[in-house]
Amino acid sequence: MTSRPVFFFVRYGLILLALVIVLIPTVWMGTMAFKPFPEWTTATGDLTWLPKEATWGNFEYIFTGQTEDLLVTLDRTAERPILASLLTAVLGTAIAVIAGTLGAYSVSRFKIGNNLPLSVLQLRLFPPLAVMIPVMIMWASLGMVDTWWGLSLIYGIVTLPFAFWLMKTFFDDVPIEIEEAALVEGCSRFRVFWKVTLPMVKAALASTCLFVFILNWSDYLIALLLTRKDWVTIPVYMNSLASAMGGQMYGCKAALGLIAAIPPVVLGIAIQKYLVRGLTFGALKQ
Amino acid sequence: MAAIRLSHLTKKFGAFTAVDALDLLIPDKEFVALLGPSGCGKTTTMNMIAGIEQATEGQILFDDRDVRRLPPNQRDVGFVFQNYAIFTHMTVYDNLAFGLSVRKLARAEIDRRVREMAALMRLEDRLEWPSSKLSVNELQKVAIGRSAITEPAIFLLDEPLSNLDAAFRAFMRTELKHLQHQFQQTMVYVTHDQIEAMSLADRIAVMNLGELQQYGTPAEVYNRPRNTFVANFMGSPSMNLLPCRLIAEAGALCFGFGEAGRLDAGGDGAMQHRARAAAGAEVIFGVRPEDLEIAPPDGPGGLKGVVSFVEPVGPRTIVHLKLAEQTVKVAKEKRYKVSIGAAVRVTAPMAKCHLFDAASGEAIGLG
């Protein structure tokens, strides 16, 4: 590593630039959420960074359907989409991570299914739209459109390759001797997996959960195609926050966006310990 | 407590034969070393005994119980891995308790035995440590303790000392011997270090290229090597193996080394007998460096040579001599002084020499 000052400035300059690019829209969303209707656009005045008259009105509006600023009454409020998003994203993540972990372990440890990893990956090589139309037809004929299980299932299937591949690389890194040692000590195969291997990759498991959850949580396309009314998720619902009179309801969308950011952030903080600690398969002297 | 009988044990990986029709009887309570260079099949043999690797052919008997088809968790063996395979996500205590808790022993009993083992291994003050924080030496102790605590009938160790520093290795060597004495287990020990095998084992099985070369006590293997591989592998520096020609002249036999001269098979009856058995064949003359003598150049008999290199190795001095066509090593005491380039004569007491068939490498005239 060089420590010449010019590199110092270039390096930190670039980091700063990246941070600005990432954070400014986020900050903009954060302040927008508290701006009253007239401050949303330039239509009635100047745009400011901070709200001139901060208000909870946007939050009130999306949850109750009305607020004094706006004449339009919302026919659907945000609780139901938030619930739908939470339920389907969590279930979809559970399906993908459980199936992906078991599959990845089998492929990593037993010399079978050599083509499986690549065929699983193939699932991701199709353009989503090319896959989604047949899926829509299948789901419709199975009566799974606009149901929580139908959406959870497709989330699980779509994110399975990620869970599978992430977990496979982690399992590949667990030395086989660790498992052999546990076997010789008297463990059954399943117990080896449950008591030894899985605890050793729990950091990896946590990262995989977070990653898959964020994928499911932020999905728009699938929910748009597979839900109608009852199980519309946050991103789809957000798109409906517009009216003929008021146009795009930026403040309300920002408020909803702020709420939608909470679960990934909370989850990220909750498992931060594992994310930071990373993977230490230390006790092997090679 | 069990004897291990391997018969016709074979392991193939595709077209490659790692272990070829191995027959080996490891008596109950004995300490047997599987010795050989890397890739000789010793670890594969060990893995088959433990059940980690499935044998392609052959039988594995513990006493009279055929265990070949049993999974490792039903074989009652302890296994110490070369890289220790410590469960890093557990504390030292949990590592030691692992085998016992798998066997569902009462908590108080587990606790008693873990503390006992920790005391034996001098790990008492490390019990609550996460095992990822241990030093290599401590990892080794945990690995041995974890396997020994369930008191398996058979204890398998795969190069357990190869990663340790020299001082601790010597200490662990003694400790292992004590441990075996205490637990009265059958121990199988894989190593590529012949000194380790010599000092620890009751018997040594020398392997090469998947085949058993010789099986016997350390003294037998060292003093009566069955072939040139064993002769060369055992001992440091290794035995001098010199191709030579058998010459019969006027009823007396001698070994011709070209320009360097001849060694008279002389009055030693055994060597005479062995040399006759060879009957004119091309042979390899083997003699250990410590058995050779260096004499002034002008005496009778012996081989003429020139000192090419002197290597002081602590307790001894290894003198490298250049003969006409060959080089030999002679081990002398550490104070031995000789100058490079000096002409000398080297003699060999026939009683301590070995004779091998040049084509097959097999020892000639060994019963």
**B-chain residues within 8 Å CB-CB of A183?**
51-52, 71-73
Residue A286 lies in a domain: no
Shortest Cα–Cα distance, A239 to chain B (Å): 46
| Dihedral over alpha carbons B269, B274, B279, B282 (to 10 degrees) | -130
Query: Cβ of A283 under 8 Å from any chain B Cβ?
Result: yes
| Three-state SS at B203 | strand
Q: Are residues A121 and A196 in the same domain?
A: yes
How many angstroms separate the CA atoms of B19 and B12, rounded?
A: 7
Q: How many CB atoms lie within 10 A of CB B250?
A: 4
pLDDT of residue B227: 92
HEC string for A229-283:
CCCCCHHHHHHCCEECCCEECHHHHHHHHHHHHHHHHHHHHHCHHHHHHCCCCCC
Cross-chain residue pair A187–B102, CB shorter than 8 Å: yes
Could you tell me the CATH number of the domain that includes residue A209?
Answer: 1.10.3720.10
Residue A148 lies in a domain: yes
Cross-chain residue pair A284–B98, CB shorter than 8 Å: no
Q: Are residues B166 and B254 in the same domain?
A: no
Q: What are the start-end ranges of the E strands in A46-170?
A: none
Please list, residue by residue across A3-36, b when 16 or more beta carbons sit within 10 angstroms of its beta carbon and e when fewer do.
eeeeeeeeeeeeeeeeeeeeeeeeeebeebbbbb
Residue B252 tokens read as: 């007396």
Residue A56 lies in a domain: yes
Q: Are residues A143 and A212 in the same domain?
A: yes
Q: Are residues B105 and B252 in the same domain?
A: no
Q: Are residues A60 and A103 in the same domain?
A: no
Q: In terms of Cα–Cα distance, which of A285, A263, A157, A224 is closest to B131?
A: A285
Structural contact between residues B154 and B186, judged by C-beta atoms closer than 8 angstroms: yes
How many angstroms separate the CA atoms of B209 and A135, rounded?
A: 57
- The whole domain housing B122 covers 4-223
pLDDT per residue of chain B (367 residues) written in tens, 0 to 9: 689 999 999 999 988 999 999 999 999 989 999 999 988 999 999 999 999 988 999 999 998 889 988 988 888 899 999 888 899 889 999 999 999 998 888 999 999 999 999 988 888 888 999 888 888 888 888 998 999 898 888 989 998 888 888 888 888 888 888 888 887 889 999 999 888 899 889 999 999 999 999 999 999 999 999 999 999 999 888 999 998 888 877 667 788 888 888 887 776 566 666 666 665 667 888 999 999 988 888 877 788 889 998 998 888 899 999 988 888 999 988 888 888 888 899 988 888 888 888 888 888 876 4
Structural contact between residues B245 and B282, judged by C-beta atoms closer than 8 angstroms: yes
Residue A130 tokens read as: 């090319």
Shortest Cα–Cα distance, A192 to chain B (Å): 10
Structural contact between residues A110 and A193, judged by C-beta atoms closer than 8 angstroms: no
**B-chain residues within 8 Å CB-CB of A188?**
73
Q: Are residues A229 and A101 in the same domain?
A: yes
Residue A137 tokens read as: 């037809």
Q: Are residues B217 and B249 in the same domain?
A: no
Shortest Cα–Cα distance, B178 to chain A (Å): 22
Residue A285 lies in a domain: no
Q: Are residues B214 and B272 in the same domain?
A: no
Q: Are residues B144 and B245 in the same domain?
A: no
Residue A284 lies in a domain: no
- A235-255 per-position pLDDT tens digit: 999 988 887 776 788 888 999
Crossing angle of the two packed helices A79-109 and A250-270, in degrees rounded to 10: 40
Structural contact between residues B23 and B61, judged by C-beta atoms closer than 8 angstroms: no
Q: Please give the tally of structural domains in chain A.
A: 2
Query: Cβ of A183 under 8 Å from any chain B Cβ?
Result: yes
- The whole domain housing A224 covers 79-240
Structural contact between residues B276 and B324, judged by C-beta atoms closer than 8 angstroms: no
Q: Are residues B170 and B41 in the same domain?
A: yes
Structural contact between residues A105 and A197, judged by C-beta atoms closer than 8 angstroms: yes
Residue B321 lies in a domain: yes
Structural contact between residues B86 and A283, judged by C-beta atoms closer than 8 angstroms: yes
Query: Cβ of B99 under 8 Å from any chain A Cβ?
Result: yes
pLDDT of residue B268: 59
Q: Mean pLDDT, to the nearest integer, of A115-133?
A: 82
Q: Are residues B294 and B246 in the same domain?
A: yes
Q: Are residues B81 and B209 in the same domain?
A: yes
Q: Which residue of B has its CA nearest to A191?
A: B102
